Amino acid sequence: MTTKTPTDLPANLPANLDMFLDVPVIVTVQLGSCQLSMREVLQLNPGSVVQLNKLADAPVEVLLNDKLVARGEVVVVENKFGIKITEMVSG
């Protein structure tokens, strides 16, 4: 899996962007969601299966600080899960 470092960034970025490159952000990948009653939550045990509202092959959403920025597909890289970005979401 590759991660971007400042040397990998496109050359056309504004010069004043440097000051923000080390600001931490929370990256969340949302596979899906569901709605459960508190009774159902309390009945969950190890091995329980929670059915999500998306198909297994549907794109996952990539959020930065809870804002949707991209969609992608789940991949396995060196025995770990990763996300292959397939679409950037504008504005």
pLDDT one-digit tens code per residue, 15-69: 788 788 889 999 999 989 999 999 999 999 999 999 999 888 899 999 999 999 9
- Domain assignment present for 7: no
Q: Is the pTM of this model over 0.75?
A: no
Q: Which residue has the tokens 């091995």?
A: 47
In a domain, 57, yes or no: yes
Residue 61 in any domain: the answer is yes
Range of the domain at 70: 25-88
17 lies in some domain: no
SS (H, E, C) the chain: CCCCCHHHCCCCCCHHHHHHCCCCCCEEEECCCCCCCHHHHHCCCCCCCCCCCCCCCCCEEEEECCEEEEEEEEEEECCEEEEEEEEECCC
Say if 5 falls within a structural domain.
no
- The arithmetic mean of pLDDT across residues 3-12, rounded, is 62
How many domains does the chain fold into? 1
Q: Is residue 67 part of a domain?
A: yes
CATH number at residue 81: 2.30.330.10
Q: What is the structure's pLDDT at 51?
A: 93
> Would 64 be classed as within a structural domain?
yes
